[in-house]
Structure formats: structure tokens, C-alpha cells
A and B are shown apart, each in its own frame.
Chain A
């Protein structure tokens, strides 16, 4: 209880709820516009913040260490995310030793991945919009976390 209380205080001090709301608005605006790598960065930043402020959502990080790298076939996206110690960190650079590298065919595929509540990863693989290198289960987990967050933020459409 004390830890939870302290965390709430920290969230208030760091205005995380406000930042999450602002980022979510930006993300929502972005998915309606031109597809760029920015959408993925915004998503991951939203996710990292949501993991800080939402206890339920943070259960996804329990005992989880994972390193994600994202690319497109049309050029490097240079976005990465790592999960460790109940925290997600987002980087605008490539990382090594990733558990899974997600290769989108283009930026449009990233947007599809983000916003369509009924699009599944297998469908994107089947349509050759998404491929990966590494452990597929890490990708499934990310897919779940993404879908969960986007529904929560009211961004995903079905």
C-alpha cells in the first residue's frame, strides 16, 4: 500500500498522467495522418508511460526482460524498446542482443499494427507486411500490450 501511495505521488510530481494524455492525443492524431515512423515511437512512449502509471497494465512487465528492435524494409526506423526491472525504456537507436526484431514492410504496416483491433500478427505475416527475427512469443506479447493499450486509450478501431 505504501509503495502504491509513493508511486502515485511520484506520478503526480512527474505529471505522468498529463504526459500520457498528451502523448495519446498526439498518437491519435498521428494514426489518422500520413504513415511515418513517428507513430511507433509515440506508441512505445505511451506504453512506457502507461506502464508507470497503471498498476494493472504493469503486470505485463512482471519478471519480464525483453529487448525489441523495429525496422522497415524501406529503411531503418531506429526505434528500440527494452523491458527490465518492471520498466520499459524507449530508444531512438538500434540495439544489439534483441529478443525479437520486427521488420515491417513499410510505415503503413506499422500503422495497421497499431490501430486495427481485429488485425492480428499472423494476418500481417500472411500478407508479408510483417516479418520478424527472433522469438515470436515476444512479438505476440507486444501485440497484446499494444492492443490492450490502444483500446484503453480509445485509439484502436475495430
Chain B
């Protein structure tokens, strides 16, 4: 890409055409690799397992680490000295003034919102990574082939007429259609190179089975994905090559294949019916696809391991649920995908099971539960009823809402129609809480006046006054984050519009606009939140302890926080034992949790993004809750300085004893006001016996009937996790749910491992928290 843009591009061309040509150049010259005996061709990177570098987006982050990234302590990523030198001297220098971040800084004169972002402890916006976190409409390429889509674009371009006679808007459409054809031509070039290479390899292959495999891939790649797929293997190959190609243009962050068991099913059904495919062969193909989706990971700087530790590229696949017509969508392919998940136990893809308690069968619910129990972590469960309703309330047509799939971690999107960018903002909710406590300042940024100077808490006479201050600070940081995200988005529109991905979406070709300009049928941006439970419990503590019980003054509370409760033992004990906790049935806790949900919904929905869509709040945290927790002082809920925050929407670890209360509290949150979805982590000590399995499924069903949106599990007890933490060599393949995605336990930072250990583990039969090991009490946030 850099070679083309630096040495070969014509700067007079429209950016979308120039960038499409760079994509075509890249794909046309991409090495066609067959690194193993997979039934699917090609690789995302030039390595068997690699991390693509996107210098135009976020790749520059690793520049300082080029000499050390191979040997760093957490998740080393091998980079040869030769490749490091190429990046340092030939690639990165070109992008110094040109990547999205610096273009934005220059265009908007280093705005306040960017400075706040670069402190990294208020909010993070992922838009410097341009388009990510979305579900392409891969059905399009499977059904019509690249040539079919190119013909659509060409037809519309010709209908516009000669370019010289067009208006500015029509010229932009003309260029867009041109760019679509150019980028798709690159996909064909890559596939033809794969076909050629497969033939070359087959000629010298001695293993007859592998020789046949290579010849079959050569046959398929000579026409797929250029022409429509006719069978299951062709469809899967088209999907995989499209996934590779999309990553030439867009960063490998949660580009999600969507409802694979739905759009691949007609091909599977046809091949099974005609006898050309057996279930066994299909399972092998699916297994190869699962492994292929694991062939790449994000290139991240050392510190990112604290905030996004152990993550792969998180391509999400979604299974089951209901069809656009409202009928049961579970089919034979759903079972096959579940079987592959169970057998392979992989970090990626992020497998998600939709469940509609009124439509899907108990057999399906029980089978998904069984796979979770077997893998201890995957898939995650999503409630069809709440997800569809919340999307409908966001203006998504019913059939499109029913066709939702999961993006990345847990986010909801109408598959192939909605460009939702649900990870646009990661907001640290503890920041506005501290700013309300310290009149617009935070301990970590010392004397710097960050937000508005709100009222002195010591002079407040009611909880409502404090909540007003919190609201003021929250609005301030949200406004800043939204302003920055929109600025990044506009720069992205102007410099690197994604023609290829736009061609694989419902909307852009009909609208004549690429995705970054709002070409998709639906548009939104998302903001997720770190520290939800910690903030709710802090609000609870302030309301109950200071204003209702009047046991301690606000001044005493703030002094206790400042001193990390070193001397204020009585205060700390009262906060921990007497203040209401989110995750229980206490009315103050329930009120404050819902009040915060409603406030966030209202504040975000007031904003419009640069594509004309609304902002949607969500609650998942990756490992930000651990990384940011380590940097934050004590909080009013009794959490000590440097302790982890709670993950996703999950109550604070060890704060709630009764499982039923915990499930009810989370399910009670108004899902209509959480259109981005939640990550709710639940830990069970074990699910082994028939009684435990039955209870497992029953609890999921009841939680969903009560309105719960999502739940994900770690089926592991304290002892097992502690053993894995202390003896990593004995736990090489322990897969855990983090907060949205799965990770190998050994890949996580020590802090994140401690967070997973400290999460409340419930005994599923007696429905109470299991006894926590006393020697690890120091890991509990509020201990």
C-alpha cells in the first residue's frame, strides 16, 4: 500500500479511486500462501500467523518498539530485523504527516478533545483505525461474485453519463463506482494468483490427498469469488477470500462474518441433498474456516496489552436465533458450527449463540449450554427478544433487526446493512465521577482543570446535587469524545474512503456513497463504558452513607478516598458492608443503576455522527477495566487504589452473594436504552452433572425471560484459576472470557488474571457465591 501511494499514485485522482488502486495493487501483489493442509486457500498476512501493519491507521504505535517487540514480556510479536528496518526507514517515514491521527490534528488545530484523548485515561476513540467493527454483507459476494457486483457498479456509473457533465455530487458517485470496480478487480487478481500457486504446488506434491486438495483449491480459485458460488466449499472459499481482501483495506479489528449458519445454509443443504458433501466433510471445512479466522492478530504496542490484553482480531460469528420472518433459524449447519467450536476450543472466532426463548427449541438451548460447559467459555448467549426490540427502537426495520448479528465482542448490528462502528468510543465512567468529586479535576492529572468547575461536594446538601455535578462532567467528556470521533470520521472520508468494504454492504452501491459517507442502509456509532458497576456503587455509597444514613460527611468520605482508607477503617468497613450494591435487590442500587443507564442513553442519543447516525451506548470493557483500574485511586464504594474495576455490566466482584439477585439486577436494566449491548460475565464453579446442566440452561432461559440481554461464562472455580495464574506452564490451553471476547489465560497480564480470579464464582445448585480463598482477599476490589 505504501509503495503504491508513495511511488505510483496519481495525486490528482479522487482519494477513493487512488486508495482503491492501492488496494488493487496490494492484493494483486499479495503472496498466495498455502502454509498447511487446510481446505481453504490463502492467508491474511504474509505469515502463517501474523499481525498486519497499518501505518496509515494505527501501525505507527509500534515504531518505538521495533527493536524490542519480539522479546517483550507480554505477548511478544516476532518481527525480523529486516522487516523492522523496512518499517523504520521505508514505510513509517512516509506516514508521519499522513496517518489519520496526524491529519486530524493538523486539520483541526490540535483540538482539546484530541489532547484529552491522548491522556488515555478519560476516553479512547478507535477511529484512528478507520473502519473496523462491522459485519460485511458476504452473501453479496457469494451470490453474485465480484464480477456481478462490478457489473452493478458499472451499470450505475454508465447511467450517470460522461463525467465532465456531472454535478459535484454526481462526480463523487461516478468516482465511487469506479473505485468499487477497481478494488474488486484486486480481489479477483489475488484469487487467480492463489489458483496459479495451488497448481504449481500440486505439480510437486507427493501426498495424493493433499495434491487433490490443492487441485480442488486451484479449480475453485480460478472462478471464485469472481463468479457466484455453486456449492458449500465454494461459498466458504468466497467468504474467506473476501475476509482476507477486506483486511487489505480495513484494520483487522472485529471484521465479523455474521450469521454464517444462515447465508451458507442453502449451499450446504444443496450439496448434502445432492450427495456431493457429507456432514463429516462439511465439519472439516467448517473447522478449517475456524482455524483460518485465527490466522491473524492485532499489532499492538506493549501498553495495549493492559487495555486490550490477549485479544485476537475478534471476528465474531453468530449462530441460531430467528429468521427475518420470525421463524426458528436453527438448522443443521448451526449444529455443525457448534460442534466445530466444541472440538477446536479456539480464541477466535468469537462465537455467539442467539437464543429466542419463545421460538428456539430447548434442545438448541441445551446444546449451546453443553458446548459452553465443555469449552468452559464459549459461545456467549444473546437474547433475541431484547436485541431485536432495542434495534427496532433505533429505527431498524423489523426484518432487518431480526437479522442482527454480533460485531466483535458483543455489539449488535443488522448484518451487512448497518455500519455501526460500535467501538468508536471507550469511555472511562470513573473519570466523570472523580471530576464531580474534585470539581473538574482528577488525581491522576493532578492540578489540571479538565472539566467544568462544578460545586464543592462538601457544601452539598443532597445526593441530587452531586448527581447534577456528575451529569455535568459526564456530558463534558461525552461531548469531547463525540467531537473527536466525528473529526476523525471526516478526515477518514476525505483521505481513505473504503471502496472495497462498501461494495460488500447493502446500501452504498444503491446510494452511490461509500461507507464512510453514510452509504450503508443504517448508520450509527457506539460508545462503550468502563467502570459501570464501580460508579453505580460509588453513587449508592454517596447517597446512602452521606445523605440518607448521614453516617459520614462528604468531607470525611473524600478524605478517606484520598488516603486510600489507610486510617479510615471504620469508614471503609461501613462502605463495604452497609452501602447498597449493584447486583442486589436494594432499591437505591437498582435506582442508581437504571438512572445511569438512562442518563447515558439520553446523552449519547442527542448526538449525530458524521454519517448521520446516532450514538449508541454499550457496556463491555475488553481489559480496559483492569488497565484503567490500576491507574485509579480509591473510590467511594470502598474500592482501594489500583484495584481492578468491574468488567462490562457485571456487578463488582464479590459484592453480591445471591445468584438470583445478581441475575435479576442485570436483567432489570432497561435494554431499550442499551442498543449497543452488554457483556455480563458470570462464573460458575462447575457444570458437570445432569442436574447442573439442566440448571444452567434453566437459568439462562429465566434471565432472558426477565429481560437480560447477554451472558457469557467462565466455568471454572477459584482453585483452578489460581493454579493457572501461579503455574502458567500447566495451563497452556485455558480459554477464558474476558469482557466480550475470549483469550488464552496465559496471554493476559497479571492484573487481568487477578480480575478473573476475583470474579464471584457461583455454585449453580445452591445459587450462592462459593467460598473465596482467604489468602487471595487482596485481589477483591473493595477488600
Contact = CB atoms under 8 A, between A and B. Distances in A.
Contacts of A119: 302
Contact of B96 (A59, A62, A127, A141): A141
Interface string B196-219: 000000000000000000000000
A53 interface: no
A138 B92 CA distance: 11
Contact of A126 (B65, B73, B121): B121
Interface stretch (B98-106, B487-495, B704-712, B763-771): B98-106
Given A122-B302, A122-B303, A127-B631, A140 B63 contact: yes
B301 A120 contact: yes
B302 A118 contact: yes
Contacts of B304: 122
B362 interface: no
A71 interface: no
Contacts, number: 98
Contacts of B571: none
Given A137-B60, A137-B96, A141-B96, A148 B302 contact: no
Given A64-B93, A141-B92, A144-B88, A117 B68 contact: yes
A10 interface: no
Contact of A62 (B89, B105, B119): B89
Interface stretch (A44-52, A90-98, A128-136): A128-136
B464 to A, nearest CB: 32
B118 interface: yes
Interface string A49-78: 000000000011011100000000000000
A151 B64 contact: no
B263 interface: no
Contact of A120 (B64, B85, B118, B121): B64
B60 A140 contact: yes
A51 to B, nearest CB: 13
A18 B302 CA distance: 35
Main secondary structure of the interface of A (DSSP, over half): helix
B5 interface: no
A141 B97 contact: no
Contact of B64 (A60, A134, A144): A144
Contacts of A121: 64
Given A60-B89, A136-B101, A147 B64 contact: yes
A138 B67 CA distance: 17
Contacts of A141: 63, 92-93, 96
B302 A126 contact: no
A140 B102 CA distance: 12
B72 interface: yes
A84 interface: no
Given A117-B68, A128-B445, A137-B95, A122 B63 contact: no
Interface in A104-130: 117-123, 125-128
B71 interface: yes
Contacts of A125: 118-120
Contacts of A148: 66-67
A126 B306 contact: yes
B434 to A, nearest CB: 14
A85 interface: no
Contacts of A63: 93
B110 interface: yes
A143 B72 contact: no
B63 A123 contact: no
Contacts of A131: 118-119
Given A62-B89, A126-B306, A135 B97 contact: yes
Contact of B63 (A62, A135, A144, A158): A144
Given A126-B631, A137-B60, A137-B102, A144 B96 contact: no
B61 interface: yes
Given A123-B302, A137-B63, A140-B63, A158 B68 contact: yes
A135 B96 contact: yes
A103 to B, nearest CB: 12
Nearest to B73: A118
Interface string B747-780: 0000000000000000000000000000000000
A11 to B, nearest CB: 22
A137 B301 contact: no
B444 interface: yes
Given A126-B631, A128-B121, A135 B105 contact: yes
Contact of B67 (A122, A140, A151): A151
B332 to A, nearest CB: 47
Interface centre among B64, B93, B444 (most CB of A within 10 A): B64
B447 to A, nearest CB: 10
A51 B683 CA distance: 56
B707 to A, nearest CB: 37
Contact of B89 (A59, A122, A128, A135): A59
A143 B69 CA distance: 13
Given A127-B631, A135-B96, A143 B64 contact: yes
19 contacts: A59-B85, A60-B89, A117-B67, A117-B68, A118-B72, A118-B302, A120-B302, A122-B61, A128-B119, A131-B119, A135-B97, A136-B105, A137-B99, A144-B63, A144-B66, A144-B88, A146-B64, A147-B66, A151-B67
The 7 A-B pairs of least Cβ separation, nearest first, read A143-B64, A140-B63, A122-B303, A123-B303, A137-B96, A120-B302, A126-B120
Interface of A: 59-60, 62-64, 117-123, 125-128, 131-138, 140-141, 143-144, 146-148, 151, 158
Given A136-B101, A137-B99, 10 more contacts: A122-B302, A123-B306, A125-B119, A126-B121, A131-B118, A133-B110, A134-B110, A141-B93, A144-B67, A148-B67
